[in-house]
Structures are given as structure tokens and as C-alpha cells.
Amino acid sequence: MADQEFSGRTALVTGGSRGIGRACVEILARHGASVAVNYRANVDAAQDAVRAVTAAGQRAIAVQADVADERQVQSMIETVEQELGPVDLLVNNAGVFHFVDHEATDLAIWNQTMACNLTGVFLVTWAVKQKMIERGFGRIVNMSSISALRARPNSIAYAASKAGVTGFTKSVAQALAGHNIRINAIAPGLIDTDILDGVEQSTLSRIVEDTPLGRIGTPEDVAELARFLLSEQSRFITGQTIVVSGGRVMLP
């Protein structure tokens, strides 16, 4: 049985019903947190995630909100605070991805991607940060991507939005460090989620060949790092973006 390092803490995972978000929900619950599972449309998947948390013996709720909508975000945070308590641990995971070349990248794709992937991180962080400041405690993990670190001509909007997440993470981490709020980002490589649906096997095989560890990542690979960054085991780490890509991208 996992330790209860997050006992008495409330966690919010945006985009928590599937993939990396779902893995984060489950690992935080196993380590003692009460967890709010944010979703935008798939209520069934969110409720399934809630059942997984309650099966681990922790409290959980599903909270619907489009993270790009300020009013919905504020309503979501109010619900979480009423049902579970103030947010101590935040995973900004919700995101959208368009795999299109520059000719197909229009303003609609750009705006939607920025609104969800970057403005959404800002809105949710800003909705919880004041009470974190008042309590003198907060831990935040933002999901960036290796697309923020390497040229991506077929996902220009996505790459730009994730680069923004990395910049946001560094600046806000420094701004809030004096309040015992630590903020870090994770830059996953290719992870085995539904984003791979429809991707040709030849493409996946080529990526695996380019990955020194020789496989595609799992949601749990990312969630384990998120747990570490939210825990006191990482107490001297803030403002960092850590790559989880099996060696496909190495920094600096």
C-alpha cells in the first residue's frame, strides 16, 4: 500500500478523466489525497475516475468546466472548495492537440489551442493562488511537452502553447516562491494515450527507433513524476521543466 504523504490535502487535476490526467488522479489518491477530477465533456470517463479514487479509500468528485472559460473555472473552484476543501495540489493537464501543417493552421486552431493549453493554465492557477498564498502552501505541476523544446512544423500552435506553459511556469514559480508555493512543469514525449488513435504504425515505429529507451511512454511514467514534484521529496525544486521522453529529447 502506498504511503499517505498527501493525507489531508486536496488535489485538482484538469483533464483528469483520461490518459495522463487519469493516471495522476489515481496516484494522488493512492498517496492519500482527496481528488477533484475535472472534465470538459466526457462525464462517464470522469465518473469512472471518481470510482477509482473512492476504491482507493479517498474522497473524490467530478467537476465539469472548460478551463478556457473564466466563469466556468471560478465555478469549478468554488465547488471543489465546498466539497473537498481548498486546492493544495494542482495538476494543469487539460489540453488540445491539432496535427496539421502550416497551411491548415488557421486562426481558429490557433485561438482554440492557446485558450485551452495556455490561458487555461493561467485561469486555473489564478483561481487557486490567492488561497495558496493565504495558507502559505501550494504545489502545482503544469503539463508542457517536448514540442515546446523542438521544432514541430505540423503542430505549430500546440508547440507555441506548450512553450508558453514552460515560460509561465518559470516566471510564476519565482513570483510565488516566497509564499511556499512551488511550481514545476513536465514535458512528456510520446505517451500511450488516445492521442495516438489513428497514428500510423510506421510513424510509431520510427519514434520508438528514435527513443534511446526503446518504447513509447505510459501515463504512469508521467504521473509518477507529477507525484514526486507535488511531494516534499522535491522540496528544493521549483521553476523547472523536466522531460519524460525516454531520452528522445535531452536537455540542455
State the residue for C-alpha cell 483520461.
18
Coil, helix or strand for 39?
strand
Q: Which phi and psi (to 5°) does residue 208 adopt?
A: -60, -40
Q: Give the torsion through C-alpha atoms of 171, 176, 180, 181, to 10 deg.
A: -60
Q: Rounded CA gap, 187 and 250, in Å?
A: 11
Decide if 39 is catalytic. no
CA angle 76, 21, 233 (to 5 degrees): 100
- Whether residue 90 contacts residue 63, with contact meaning beta carbons closer than 8 Å, is answered with no
Q: Rounded CA gap, 12 and 205, in Å?
A: 35
Q: Rounded CA gap, 106 and 244, in Å?
A: 30
Q: Which residue is catalytic, options 39, 122, 158, 168?
A: 158
Bridge pairing between strands 89-92 and 60-64 = unpaired
Residues identified as active-site: 158
